[in-house]
Amino acid sequence: MAHPTYSVPLFSQHMEVDSSDLINLFQTFIEEFAEEMIDLKASLLNKDYIQMQRIAHNIKGIAANLEMDSLFEFTKSLNDGLKNNEPLPFDELVTKIEKEYTSIVDYLKEYYGSALNLEG
Amino acid sequence: MNPKRILIVEDSLTVVEQMRLFLRNENYKVTHAGSEFGMYQMIEEYGKVVDLIIMDLTLKNENGLDLIDNLRKNEKYSKLPVIVVTEHAQVDFILRAKELQVSDYIRKPITKETFIKRIERTISQSTDTNVADNMTHTSDS
């Protein structure tokens, strides 16, 4: 069981905590990030770029702390582009972020099985 | 020794959870606020019992340095130790942080070792300062 861009065992080594604590951390991540994705897409639709940048900054920090390197790179590109008013295809970046997030969630579900107790 | 109380001001629950895990086996009591309003609620509630604030500089709707600025304007909290968590390392940021008497700063992404070391160092320095202050007051009286 492997993911192309993320490794639970590697992150676990750096965190030095029990498996159950790590599961709680990932559950919090999955729930918070899902909410942020909803707000991010709503901000994109409304062309609210200030709010988009705030969200991008927050999820970039989360991705960095959890050592999700690809997710970090995508969120960083979005954050930097919005901050510097660069003419980037923001919708494509949001799609990339969502795909990477979904892929990591699938990996975590496969890795932890039913131990990862997600609602909905 | 009574555990020191740390207040984390951070609006990401994931990051708060991670910080709590880092500190779980250390001798600290950890509380959390997600905004300036929440921060004042917590420090007013715990009063002098808050020994250290860990402040995220880029809250979604607030600037952490402005929160510290407001905190410093209140005499009660003018010397409360604050460690900021940031991605910034620019000179202007460091100068402003110094002006606001920020005790230390931790660059993101946070690692357990750095996080605990910086907290221990800041609390230790703060305790030393308090002892020195107390000695000064004693000798004055």
Angle between helices A19-45 and B13-23 (to 10 degrees): 160
B30 bridge partner residues:
B6
Does B35 lie at the interface with A, CB-CB under 8 angstroms?
no
User: How do residues A19-76 score in pLDDT, each as one tens digit?
Assistant: 999 999 999 999 999 999 999 999 999 999 999 999 999 999 999 999 999 999 999 9
Q: How far is B121 from chain A (nearest CA, A)?
A: 21
- Residues of A within 8 A of B111 (CB-CB) are 14
Q: Could you give the 3-state DSSP secondary structure of residue B4? A: strand
Within a 10 A sphere around the Cβ of A63, how many other Cβ atoms? 27
Stretch A94-114: mean pLDDT: 96
Beta carbons of A65 and B14 less than 8 Å apart: yes
Q: What is the pTM of this model?
A: 0.89
Structure tokens given for A76: 């960083």
Q: Is the peptide bond before A4 cis (omega within 30 degrees of 0)?
A: no
**How many residue pairs from chains A and B have C-beta atoms closer than 8 A?**
53
Structure tokens given for A63: 């991705």
Is the complex ipTM more than 0.90?
yes
Angle between helices A69-83 and A90-112 (to 10 degrees): 160
Smallest CA-to-CA distance from A26 within A120, A87, A114, A112 is with: A112
- Residues of A within 8 A of B19 (CB-CB) are none
